[in-house]
């Protein structure tokens, strides 16, 4: 592992690492110049800033359904069951990012951080020719990297007075992500099919229609490891019961039929339980 923890300000006590039994931090020397990072207290919280390379690409921040490369965007890492735009909201946001430049960073905080992934600070030396008179009416252009000043990334932790930043290095993005995984305690091996192809059926489908979908995949030689049923397979959805609806009168037959075709069944559910 190639990793170093940088303590900035006064970190909070209630942070993810405090609840990770197998948190695995081993400090090593880095080639990344840690003096790049600067920090300051603002009215809104604790701000960390550091320069990034002009051609650096930024990936990560947990499960992000709308985009992979976050360069030039503003993200708020907030839990949201139904994210509709590329603003950082997600089922599972994580304050960790990785670049194509051999380093990544994890910010040990449970707060909804704001990340500005590469903007240009105006240092007062920009030529008049760089001025833009066009009226911008979309966020893609608004947060695009401009050719003025130097490229900077900033992370704001609202209401905090400090944060521990874990900087990791590796030859590839995979190497860096692996180090983050080990820092977080590693994880169990998962069956190969769990990393395979998943298809989720329409919420209105009954058992016959679900089997028709499974047969379609098989007959067209399309790989399918997991077939998912959306809300509606059970008697109640919001909140959620765990009883099969009358659309699936013989659930064991359905499960066995899919198993014969080499397909595992995935059932949508959530933690808000219906009294039934």
State residue 95's pLDDT score: 98
State residue 260's pLDDT score: 96
Give the C-alpha separation, 199 to 209, whole Å.
14
Other beta carbons within 10 Å of 141 = 12
Helical (H) or strand (E) element with 104: strand 103-107
Residue 207: helix, strand or coil by DSSP? helix
State residue 140's pLDDT score: 59
Structural domains of the chain, ranges and CATH numbers in brackets? 3-183 (2.60.40.1760), 192-267 (no CATH)
For the four alpha carbons of 268, 269, 275 and 276, in that order, the dihedral sign comes to positive
Residues in the chain: 276
State residue 122's pLDDT score: 59
Residue of 266, 267, 268, 273 lying closest to 240 (CA atoms): 273
Which residue stretches of the chain have pLDDT < 50? 125-132, 143, 145-149
For the four alpha carbons of 255, 189, 66 and 48, in that order, the dihedral sign comes to positive
Pinpoint the alpha helices (H) of 52-172.
Answer: 139-142
State residue 126's pLDDT score: 40
State residue 270's pLDDT score: 85
State residue 134's pLDDT score: 57
């Amino acid at each position: 592992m190639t990793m170093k923890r940088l303590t900035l300000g006064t970190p909070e006590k209630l942070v993810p690492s405090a609840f990770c039994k197998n948190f695995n931090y081993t400090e090593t020397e880095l080639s990344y110049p840690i003096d790049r990072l600067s920090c300051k207290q603002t009215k809104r919280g604790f701000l960390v800033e550091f320069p990034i390379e002009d051609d650096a690409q930024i990936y990560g921040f947990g499960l992000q359904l709308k985009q992979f490369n976050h360069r030039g965007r503003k993200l708020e890492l907030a839990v949201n069951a139904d994210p509709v735009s590329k603003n950082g909201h997600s089922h599972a946001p994580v304050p960790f990012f990785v670049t194509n430049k051999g380093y990544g960073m994890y910010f040990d905080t449970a707060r909804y951080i704001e990340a500005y992934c590469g903007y240009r600070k105006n240092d007062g030396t920009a030529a008049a020719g760089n001025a833009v008179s066009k009226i911008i009416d979309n966020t893609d252009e608004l947060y695009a990297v401009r050719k003025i000043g130097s490229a900077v990334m900033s992370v704001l932790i609202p209401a905090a007075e400090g944060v521990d930043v874990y900087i990791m290095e590796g030859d590839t993005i995979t190497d860096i992500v692996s180090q983050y995984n080990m820092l977080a305690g590693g994880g169990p091996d998962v069956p190969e099919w769990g990393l395979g192809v998943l298809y989720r059926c329409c919420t209105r489908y009954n058992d016959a229609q679900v089997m028709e979908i499974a047969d379609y995949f098989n007959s067209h030689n399309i790989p399918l490891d997991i077939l998912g049923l959306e809300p509606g397979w059970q008697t109640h959805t919001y909140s959620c019961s765990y009883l099969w609806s009358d659309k699936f009168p013989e659930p064991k037959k359905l499960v066995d039929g899919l198993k014969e075709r080499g397909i595992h069944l995935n059932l949508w559910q959530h933690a808000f339980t219906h009294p039934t």
